[in-house]
Amino acid sequence: MPHDANAGVAAQHREMIGEGTFGKVYLVRCSSTGKQIVLKESETIGLSTEEKEAMLNEALILKRLQHPAIIAYRQAYIRGGMFCIEMDWAAGGDLRSYIRKHRNEKRWLPETTVARHLWQLTSALAYCHKQNLLHRDLKTANIFLDALDHIKVRICMHARSSAPRRGSPALLTCRSWETLASRRSCLRHRRALAAHITIAKAPGLCPFTHASACANLHPPPPAGQGHDAMWHPALHVSRDVRGPAVHQRGGRLGTRMRTLRADEPLRAVG
Amino acid sequence: MSLSAPWVEQMRKAGDAGGGWTRLMQRITTETLDVGALRGRYSDGLLSVLSALLTKDASRRPALRHVLTWPVLRATEEAATVLWPRAAP
């Protein structure tokens, strides 16, 4: 499994701010810049190589999402058996606490604040939808505020794409393809599986992220294999979805779709 | 249904068969939200945005990109464009 023992931020101060089944979350102050960032660590012990690569590639897809109202993912890597994601720190806390605080103080939010938050949140979600990404866990606990009281939406790793269709670009799911393959009876998961692997094989290079190119690159599905079938224009996979087969198919897509080499540092992207 | 009491009351009935989150979700999905309690606090424009976003008929619910163009949010957009040059979705 490719990894980088020296990857990640050089921490000057590290404080745990959250813990759960996913791992631990730390607030880290970078020794070089002095800037605070959030470091999320999850254990990779027991995961297969494909699972680890899938986790990294999903993080890389999130890294490509760049919007001022979305919490930016800085980098992802595996270090010391831990899968690490670095992301920006929202100093203002989450919207749930913000609303609760006002409610306890019996203070109404000013209309200008409501309108501004609404516009920023709508803008972020519209951007996600333009990327064919569905949040799937939108709630006040996942909406944060920065130090200037601007909205920062946290895109969870279990956000997923809308169903693949003609022209659908970056498709995302947090579940590893093994998990999805074990649930092949679920058509939606099968769709996400194929699409996820498609994008995972081509971080930053997928031609399907460009909507203008989609019309030419995505031919209509073959007869009898419409949107209800396991069909994706980038893969031309059959109904029988198996990971290795899909990987091989993905490798044939040409120079614009590349496969990560075994010795390639997965964090070196973007 | 309004934004105030019924929501809280439903949550307090968590032990009852007809209360709790299940009942609350039923009310959300079957009843219409009354934003009348908010009149006087917020402008009609903002309340109309809220009502539109909560429309149960998906075909009548506005797209997010369309919501961004509504007048009540225009001023916010202009301010945001100054702060965020890349904010336009």
- Chain B residue with Cα closest to A122: B64
pLDDT over 70, % of chain A: 51
- Cβ atoms A69, A120 nearer than 8 A: yes
Under an 8 A CB cutoff, do A68 and B87 touch? yes
Under an 8 A CB cutoff, do B87 and A126 touch? no
Residues in chain B with CB shorter than 8 Å from the CB of A125 are 64
Looking up tokens 């008929």, which residue turns up?
B57
- Cβ atoms A70, A119 nearer than 8 A: no
Residues in chain A with CB shorter than 8 Å from the CB of B89 are 67, 123-124, 126-127, 130
Q: Encoding tokens for residue B58? A: 């998906």
- pLDDT value at position B78? 67
Q: Over 80: is that where the pLDDT of A144 sits? A: yes
What is the pLDDT confidence band of residue A136, given thresholds at 50, 70 and 90? confident
- pLDDT value at position A139? 87
A196-251 residue pLDDT tens: 333 333 333 222 222 222 222 333 334 443 333 222 333 322 222 223 323 333 33
Q: Which range has the worst mean pLDDT, A1-15, A72-86, A129-143, B49-63?
A: A1-15
**Residues pairing with A4 in the sheet:** none
- pLDDT value at position B30? 80
Under an 8 A CB cutoff, do B88 and A123 touch? yes
Closest by CA to A225, choosing from A187, A253, A251, A193, is A187
Residue in B11, B69, B76 to test binding to A, most A beta-carbons within 10 Å: B76
Residue in A122, A125, A153 to test binding to B, most B beta-carbons within 10 Å: A122
Under an 8 A CB cutoff, do A68 and B83 touch? yes
- pLDDT value at position B32? 78
pTM: 0.61
A14-47 residue pLDDT tens: 788 888 766 788 999 887 788 889 988 888 777 7
Distance from CA of B40 to the nearest CA of A (A): 11
Comparison of pLDDT for A212 and A143, the residue scoring more: A143
Backbone phi, psi, residue A37, to 5°: -135, 165
Comparison of pLDDT for A116 and A191, the residue scoring more: A116
Distance from CA of B57 to the nearest CA of A (A): 19
Comparison of pLDDT for A59 and A190, the residue scoring more: A59
Break chain A into its structural domains and give their ranges: 11-88, 95-153, 160-250
Q: Over 90: is that where the pLDDT of A95 sits? A: yes
Looking up tokens 């609303």, which residue turns up?
A99
What is the pLDDT confidence band of residue A118, given thresholds at 50, 70 and 90? very high
Backbone phi, psi, residue A41, to 5°: -120, 135
A137 is catalytic: yes
Helical segments of A160-221, H only? 177-181, 187-200, 211-217
- Chain A residue with Cα closest to B65: A126
Q: Over 70: is that where the pLDDT of A6 sits? A: no
Comparison of pLDDT for B45 and A260, the residue scoring more: B45
Catalytic residue among A137, A149, A240, A263: A137
| Three-class DSSP category at A156 | coil
A134 touches chain B (CB under 8 A): no
Backbone phi, psi, residue B81, to 5°: -65, -35
Under an 8 A CB cutoff, do B64 and A125 touch? yes
Mean pLDDT over each residue of chain A, to the nearest integer? 62
- Chain B residue with Cα closest to A111: B42
Comparison of pLDDT for A82 and A94, the residue scoring more: A94
Which residues in chain B land under pLDDT 50?
1-2, 5, 87-89
- pLDDT value at position A198? 39
Distance from CA of B72 to the nearest CA of A (A): 8
- pLDDT value at position A161? 44
Q: Over 80: is that where the pLDDT of A257 sits? A: no
Angstrom CA distances, B44 to A110, A114, B52, B72, B77, stand at 14, 13, 12, 9, 18
- pLDDT value at position A40? 85
Q: What is the CATH number of domain A11-88?
A: 3.30.200.20
